[in-house]
């Protein structure tokens, strides 16, 4: 995930840098015979739960930082994380989805706390050089119902949990502007053509059964739009 500095890469073309994540989750039920004892191999019982947790925490957190960070003029992910109001949005969204994941998959509170701390630690790495443009790229895809923002909000709703921070992040994604990003251009076009509620229903793939969530998101899209106009 990390590109070595150009001078080192010239001297050592085969040099590999990583972000230091030295753990690999593996489905324990997929082995035949004795399971090898290897450092960093983390055996899990439910790979689907692991996949959802990763998408709904790591990817969700990055999207929250990008869309709120873009509103405050940031270019790098680490700058978003260092900005207290943006960091608060990420912390809040992680806390909300943590509750939902505990309810859905049985993760413990202590386990989720440690996991979320690691999400933030891994993200706060200037060596990565990760950008808002990359983490926020293609909001059309990232706003789909089973992706990193609406998916966690729906999971929280399923368990009657609050999702205020997640809803704010979804609304911020609707205001993400990047003329070089076709997904962002599409979302902005839909918002202008049909208004917040119809755009939310369409882009987030929310049906009549989720109308309450669609209305909450649309109201926040409208509110953030007014805030942005006031700041301008």
pLDDT, residue 232, reads 61
| Residue 56 CB-density burial (10 A; 0-12 exposed, 13-18 middle, 19+ buried) | buried
pLDDT, residue 21, reads 73
For the stretch 115-145, pLDDT in tens is: 999 999 989 988 888 899 999 999 999 999 9
Instruction: Give the span between the Cα atoms of 183 and 173, in whole angstroms.
Output: 11
pLDDT, residue 6, reads 84
Residues of the chain under the 50 pLDDT cut: none
pLDDT, residue 1, reads 59
Domain ranges in the chain are 1-45, 46-231
Instruction: Kindly report the CATH number that applies to the domain delimited by 46-231.
Output: 1.10.1040.10
Which helix or strand (DSSP H or E) is residue 188 part of?
A: helix 182-194
Using DSSP, state whether 19 is helix, strand or coil: coil
Its pTM stands at: 0.90
For the stretch 46-75, pLDDT in tens is: 999 999 999 999 999 999 999 999 999 999
The answer to whether the Cα torsion of 79, 80, 86, 92 is positive or negative is negative
């Amino acid at each position: 995930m990390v590109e070595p500095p150009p001078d080192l890469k010239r001297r050592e073309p085969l040099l590999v840098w990583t972000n230091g994540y030295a753990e690999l989750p593996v489905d324990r039920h997929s082995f035949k015979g004795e399971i090898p004892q290897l450092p960093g191999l983390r055996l899990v019982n439910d790979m689907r739960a692991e996949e959802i947790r990763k998408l709904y925490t790591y990817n969700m957190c990055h999207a929250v930082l990008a869309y709120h960070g873009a509103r405050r003029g940031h270019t790098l992910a680490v700058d978003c994380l260092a900005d207290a109001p943006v960091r608060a949005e990420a912390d809040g969204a992680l806390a909300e989805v943590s509750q939902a994941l505990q309810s859905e998959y049985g993760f413990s509170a202590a386990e989720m706390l440690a996991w979320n701390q690691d999400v933030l630690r891994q993200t706060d790495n200037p060596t990565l050089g990760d950008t808002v443009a990359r983490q926020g790229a293609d909001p059309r895809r990232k706003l789909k119902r089973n992706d990193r923002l609406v998916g966690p909000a729906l999971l929280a709703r399923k368990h009657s949990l609050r999702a205020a921070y997640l809803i704010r992040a979804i609304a911020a994604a609707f205001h993400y502007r990047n003329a070089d990003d076709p997904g962002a251009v599409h979302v902005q076009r839909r918002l202008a053509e049909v208004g917040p509620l119809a755009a939310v229903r369409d882009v987030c793939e929310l049906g009549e059964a989720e109308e309450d969530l669609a209305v909450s998101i649309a109201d926040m899209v409208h509110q953030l739009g007014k805030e942005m106009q006031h700041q301008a």
